[in-house]
Structure 1
């Protein structure tokens, strides 16, 4: 049969090539984590922290919890190094229907919403540099979605190259803030103390772990990383250690210049620090840094998000058109385009929103932590169901660390519902729509994807 006539299926090996180096995966992981959140969430965290110690300790605890989660994911990623990531683990543990709900959540809530939000941050800051009028932010956001979609449609190597350079620019920007706050801040700046009120630990962790969020996205490219079983655990853990060090340093710099009260007063906390240290030039430089950071995260999110769209297309014949992998370019082109179109639709809707950042947190957080919890439980399920399967990397201190990961995910699921607003209910409602779609989209009856 001619290859062009073949229908994709889970039994048909996808021509996924190992084209990414370990440093590419490292750049993608850091690029997702160190995004625009570090320039926005610290002010929200300062507002609900009772002391500077609590705020800084929260960033250290967030880093440790993220490393524990990364160790759990490292076992799954090296045991099942396939393009579907979480989707693959959920499918193997619970079957195709819960896996479809996860894929639906990524397409409709988590990934696509993150891309649109990050591109709106690009639009907001580009509008400060070069104003295009009342629709400036939306126009820049749409242009960013189109640009990044085209780059990754061209090929994986092109997308990874762009990611590497954007990540370098982003890390340099964060280090500039650290140096400015710790070394060049004038001595006459008087930091504003905090209110001294009690700390809301649940809400603090929601925002802190949101800012650390995204490290798990690296598993979606595990099948494309050379010698993935060796490098993926190192990529996940070392990238998070580097990110945690950066986050603690940058928040210490914020505190030194602004104090806890000053951080709580300014949403654009990084721009305020740069403006106080270097004047208007510093504020303009900060706008450029945030644009680079948001582009970095959006590009990395687009790279990994398309892989889950691709995976569900293989397993549900009704969506087979998005389950094709282009062997020549090394990309799931149809999935990339589909994701880009959905993100553009969200940009069009978001153009009329008043403030999308906190709403996006409310919208995505409950769904995100629900599936994180299910993946943690899946590790136990798969160990019990497939005890003879080779595991190149096993999470240390099993079952203690996986249990801690599951308990943290459950607590964050509760907190994201208890401490947020109506946006959380909307996100849950969208997930429920995916459950209804299962009445019409039947999973493939063929065997699970071919093992590497």
Structure 2
């Protein structure tokens, strides 16, 4: 690969991302995306294969530690090469813009827009519980959420990140309320519900790390964080430290209130806890809490997803209209509109699907973990290729921690393929379409600074 195929980054362009955000805004994006609806559902799946309460809690602690290790690896990349393109920029710099294009294509067409759609539908499901709108109510709420979030982020970056900050505050307060309920009510008597006999460490970690997913999105804000090159590591690690603490506390509350067998035996563990604490009113509380959590994650996903598309447009002349940055709004407006339009199309299709949520999760997982593994490898590549690059932060215990991150990603890639089967072929088909598009697209001769 020629050096000319490596995007340069020395300073932001005149009309591009500028450091306009504080640490609290980026932390709100990370925390808000990670604490999605998963923490209200996956504990039941983890408990079903945990074998013991101790193993159950250790799995959540291990998930936090592994996520923090990954965040340290991302922090080095983001500090050395801050960019609105995040993973796209790292992969392009290490392996060339053609591989970067495949990632950006998968992210635009499946990973990010699919996640936005799923979160919007989740919001719609629970909003319909609070205020029903008929059979198509969830789809109506989902479409309204995508339109509203796209509009808010289109106006100005501060509107989008300001909304994220307050949504995250409400989300965290709601989770703390659930934790308090678990600690205040009478504990489940020992032996009230027998714990499952089966134990599978690997399957436990698949579910746990899925619930911790989304922390890497903070890298997409590195070019817009004031003092980002030196502060990004602190923001990422502190955000995940908070998430890990909250996850441990809420799962301990689940254990105390329901027991391991009780958690494993329900699909609505948070609702069961809330019902024990507040009766039928608990269901209303949980519906509101999950709706807010889904909306918070969707907003963060909208913010970071559009930045990959912007970086893609900056690198390919034929897609240059996607790479336009609004100086007035400090945001990639065209990229936001395209992302919102694709999400609305997916919502329209999902309104008639039987189990679109599960299918989308299955076919996005292998693609996601493949590229996350490649990002981990890019850390080694860029250390060797660009040793002179300024690195305000270096991952400690190199190369041990990056190796752990790569091995974890490789295992999750294997597990996602093993558990999804033929559904994984859909993600491969999407990548194949992107490869075909590369026959007609050429990277810009001018090196990108996005």
Q: Report the TM range for the smaller structure's normalisation.
A: over 0.9
Residue 417 of structure 1 corresponds to 417
Using the alignment, how far apart are the partners of 1:447 and 1:144 within structure 2? 36
Q: Alpha-carbon deviation of 1:47?
A: 2.1
Shift of residue 16, structure 1, vs aligned partner: 1.9
Q: Distance in 2 between matches of 1:324 and 1:297?
A: 25
Partner of residue 43, structure 1: 44
What corresponds to 1:278 in structure 2?
A: 278
Q: Deviations over 1:308-364 (max 9, x none)?
A: 010001111121111100000111000001100111111111112233443333121
> What is the aligned partner in structure 1 of residue 83 from structure 2?
82
Is contact 1:13–1:449 with CA below 8 Å preserved after alignment?
A: no
Counterpart of 1:208 in structure 2 is 208
- Cα deviation per residue 1:389-439 (whole Å; 9 max; x = unaligned)? 111000001111111111111111001111224332212221222112111
Between stretches 271-280 and 59-68, larger displacement belongs to 271-280
In structure 2, how many angstroms separate the alpha carbons of the residues matched to 1:137 and 1:174? 23
Rounded Cα–Cα distance in structure 2 between residues aligned with 1:251 and 1:174: 11
Question: 1:320–1:49: structure 2 CA closer, same or farther, 3 Å change rule?
Answer: same
More displaced stretch, 239-248 vs 44-53: 44-53
Superposed, 1:9-158 pairs within 5 Å as 13-158=14-159
> TM-score, normalization: structure 2?
0.94
Structure 1 equivalent of residue 252 of structure 2: 252
Task: Name the CA distance, whole Å, in 1 between partners of 2:364 and 2:192.
Answer: 34
Q: How many angstroms apart in 2 are the aligned matches of 1:203 and 1:250?
A: 20
8 A Cα contact 2:188 2:259, kept in partner: no
Alpha-carbon distance in 2 for matches of 1:354, 1:203? 26
Partner of 1:403: 403
1:177 aligned onto 2:211: no
State the distance in 2 between where 1:210 and 1:188 align: 31
The corresponding residue for 2:349 is 349
**Inter-partner Cα distance in structure 1 for 2:307 and 2:364:** 19
Q: In 1, distance between residues paired with 2:357 and 2:202?
A: 19
Determine if contact 1:215/1:240 at 8 Å carries over to the other structure: yes
Offset of 1:45 from its aligned partner?
A: 1.7
Residue 188 of structure 2 contacts residue 257 of structure 2 at CA under 8 Å; is this kept in 1?
no
Q: Which runs of 5+ in 1 are unaligned?
A: 1-8
Give the drift of 1:264: 2.3
CA contact (8 A) 1:170 1:289 kept: yes
Partner-residue secondary structure (3-state), 1:420: helix
Greater mean deviation of Cα atoms: 187-196 or 216-225: 187-196
CA distance in 2 between counterparts of 1:206 and 1:432 reads 26
Instruction: With the length of structure 1 as denominator, give the TM-score of the two structures.
Output: 0.94
Q: Is the 8 A contact 2:130 2:284 kept in 1?
A: yes
Aligned match of 1:6: none
- Residue 296 (structure 2) aligns with: 296
* Superimposed CA distance per residue, residues 198-240 of structure 1 (whole angstroms, 9 cap, x where no aligned partner): x222222221111111111011111111110221100000111
In the alignment of these two chains, the number of paired residues is 441
Quote the offset at 1:253 in angstroms: 1.1
In angstroms, what is the RMSD of aligned CA positions?
A: 1.8
| Inter-partner Cα distance in structure 2 for 1:168 and 1:276 | 25
Does the C-alpha gap of structure 1 residues 357 and 265 become closer, same or farther in structure 2, counting only changes over 3 Å? farther
Indicate conservation of the 8 Å contact 1:190/1:258, yes or no. no
Q: Name the SS of the counterpart of 2:420 in structure 1.
A: coil
Structure 2 equivalent of residue 221 of structure 1 = 221
Task: Report if aligned partners of 1:43, 1:264 keep a CA contact under 8 Å in 2.
Answer: yes
Paired with 2:439 and 2:14, the residues of 1 have a C-alpha distance of 27
Deviation at 1:27, TM superposition (A): 0.9
Counterpart contact for 2:188–2:258, Cα < 8 Å: no
Question: Is the contact between residue 112 and residue 343 of structure 1 (CA under 8 Å) also seen in structure 2?
Answer: yes
User: Take 2:57 and 2:172, find their aligned partners in 1: how far apart are those partners?
Assistant: 20
Q: Quote the Cα distance in structure 2 between the aligned partners of 1:342 and 1:181.
A: 40
Counterpart CA distance in 2 for 1:360 and 1:177 is 29
Query: Counterpart in 1 of 2:3?
Result: none
Residue 12 of structure 1, CA deviation: 5.7
1:361, 1:44 → 2: CA distance?
15
How much does 1:186 deviate? Answer: 6.4
Distance (Å, rounded) in 2 between the aligned partners of 1:428 and 1:264: 33
Q: Tell me, what secondary structure is at the counterpart of 1:304?
A: helix
Give the corresponding residue for 2:444.
444
Shift of 1:190: 7.3
Give 1:191 shift: 4.6
Contact preservation (8 Å) 1:185, 1:277:
no
Moved more, 340-349 or 187-196: 187-196
Q: Assess if the C-alpha contact under 8 Å between 2:155 and 2:329 holds in 1.
A: yes
